Amino acid sequence: MNDPISVVNGVAVPVGAAVLLAIIAIVIRLWQGSEKRHTSELTRMGAAHQAELTRLGNAHVAEVTQLRAEVSALRSRVDHLQDELDKERAQTTEALDTERRRRWKAEDAAAARRRQGERGE
């Protein structure tokens, strides 16, 4: 049994198994390294995402605060304009009432003169 083929076969099988195990070990190490890189990349992306969410949240709060201030200023302006309009309406109503009373007084005086003229007084 010392022929060269059986010696080569006897040596080749354990060497082939060792090479196969070495290849499997290399693949596992590469996969683990890839997994670590992937995990670190996910962690980095998660942190970047959280930072962006925080930035957007802060921008939203600032925008809402600004809009509330603008709404408050506009409400104040509307209140002021409403007051001015109320004053103007009051003045207009008073002027119309004064004119109406003047006209009624003139009509009453004219009616009184007509009545005096009809009676011949």
Residue ranges per structural domain of the chain: 1-121
The predicted pLDDT at position 60 comes to 96
The predicted pLDDT at position 121 comes to 59
Residue type, 52: E
The predicted pLDDT at position 10 comes to 58
The 3-state DSSP class for residue 72 equals: helix
Taking CA atoms, 65 is separated from 39, 54, 69, 97, 101, in Å, by 39, 16, 6, 47, 53
Sign of CA dihedral 52, 58, 61, 63: negative
Give pLDDT < 70 ranges for the chain.
Answer: 1-13, 120-121
The predicted pLDDT at position 18 comes to 77
The predicted pLDDT at position 94 comes to 95
In whole angstroms, what is the distance from residue 114 CA to residue 18 CA? 138
